[in-house]
Amino acid sequence: MKRLLILLLCATHLSILSSRFSIGEVKAQGWPADYGGVMLQGFYWDSFGDSQWKRLEAQVEDFAPYFSLVWIPQSGNCGGTSMGYDDLYWFNNYNSSFGNEAELRSLITTFRNAGIGTIADVVINHRKNVSNWVDFPTETYKGVTYTMTSTDICANDDGGATMTWAKANGYELSSAYDTGEGWGGMRDLDHTSQNVQNTVMAYLDFLKNDLGYAGFRYDMVKGYAGSYTKMYNEASQPDFSVGECWDGTTTIRKWIDATEKTSAAFDFQFRYTVRNAVNTGNWSKLGETNDGNWPLISSNYLQGNYRQWAVTFVENHDTEYRSAASQQDPIRRDTLAANAHLLASPGTPCVFLKHWKAYKYDIARMIQARKLCGILNTSTTADFSSSSAYYSYIVNGSNGRLLVWLGDQTDASSTITDYIKILEGKNYSYWIQPKLFGQWNSLSKPEFAEDKVERKDITIYLKDPGWDKVYFYAWDGNLYINDSWPGVQVTDKRNIDGTDYYYRTFNVSAESDYTMNVIFDKGSNQGQTVDITGINSDRYYEIASTTNKYTVNDISDALPVHSITEDNASSNNFFDLSGRRIYTNHGAPIQKGLYITKGHKIVFGK
| Res 236 pLDDT > 90 | yes
Q: How far is 155 from 486, CA to CA, in rounded Å?
A: 47
Under 8 Å between Cβ of 41 and 351: yes
pLDDT band at residue 576 using 50, 70 and 90 as cut-offs:
low
- Beta bridge partners of residue 216, listed in sequence order: 120, 241
Contacts of 101 (CB under 8 A, 6+ apart): 94, 95
Q: Report helix, strand or coil for 277.
A: helix
Question: Is 2.60.40.1180 the CATH number for 380-442?
Answer: yes
Residue among 458, 543, 465, 550 nearest 504 (CA) = 458
Q: What is the pLDDT of residue 28?
A: 83
Q: What is the pLDDT of residue 594?
A: 63
Q: Which whole number is the average pLDDT over 583-601?
A: 60
Residue among 457, 583, 574 nearest 516 (CA) = 457
Contacts of 18 (CB under 8 A, 6+ apart): 24, 25
Q: What is the pLDDT of residue 595?
A: 64
- Beta bridge partners of residue 118, listed in sequence order: 70
Residue among 504, 512, 495, 604 nearest 559 (CA) = 495
Quick: pLDDT tens for 7-48. 333 444 444 444 445 444 567 889 999 999 999 999 999 998
Q: What is the pLDDT of residue 18?
A: 44
- Beta bridge partners of residue 600, listed in sequence order: 597
- DSSP-derived letter for residue 207 is I
Contacts of 9 (CB under 8 A, 6+ apart): none
Contacts of 121 (CB under 8 A, 6+ apart): 71, 72, 73, 74, 75, 84, 217, 219
Q: How far is 55 from 66, CA to CA, in rounded Å?
A: 18
Q: Report helix, strand or coil for 355.
A: helix
Average pLDDT, the chain: 88
Q: What is the pLDDT of residue 330?
A: 93
Contacts of 210 (CB under 8 A, 6+ apart): 141
Q: How far is 503 from 460, CA to CA, in rounded Å?
A: 6
Q: What is the pLDDT of residue 575?
A: 62
Q: What is the pLDDT of residue 452?
A: 65
| Res 560 pLDDT > 70 | no
pLDDT band at residue 267 using 50, 70 and 90 as cut-offs:
very high
Q: Which whole number is the average pLDDT over 505-517?
A: 84
Q: How far is 580 from 595, CA to CA, in rounded Å?
A: 10
**pTM value?**
0.75
Q: How would CATH label the architecture of 453-543? A: Sandwich (2.60)
Phi, psi of 507 (to 5 degrees): -95, 110
3-state secondary structure 530-577: CCEEEECCCEEEEEEECCCCEEEEECHHHCCCEEECCCCCCCCCCECC
pLDDT band at residue 6 using 50, 70 and 90 as cut-offs:
very low
Q: What is the pLDDT of residue 3?
A: 39
Quick: pLDDT tens for 274-304. 999 999 999 999 987 666 678 999 876 556 7
Percentage of the chain modeled with pLDDT above 90: 74
Q: Report helix, strand or coil for 302.
A: coil
- Label residue 299 exposed, middle or buried (CB < 10 Å: 0-12, 13-18, 19+): middle
pLDDT band at residue 596 using 50, 70 and 90 as cut-offs:
low
Residue among 501, 599, 513 nearest 557 (CA) = 599
Domains 380-442 and 453-543 fall in the same CATH topology? yes
Total residue count of the chain as it appears in this document: 606
Q: What is the pLDDT of residue 482?
A: 75
- Label residue 442 exposed, middle or buried (CB < 10 Å: 0-12, 13-18, 19+): exposed
Domain ranges of the chain: 380-442, 453-543, 562-604
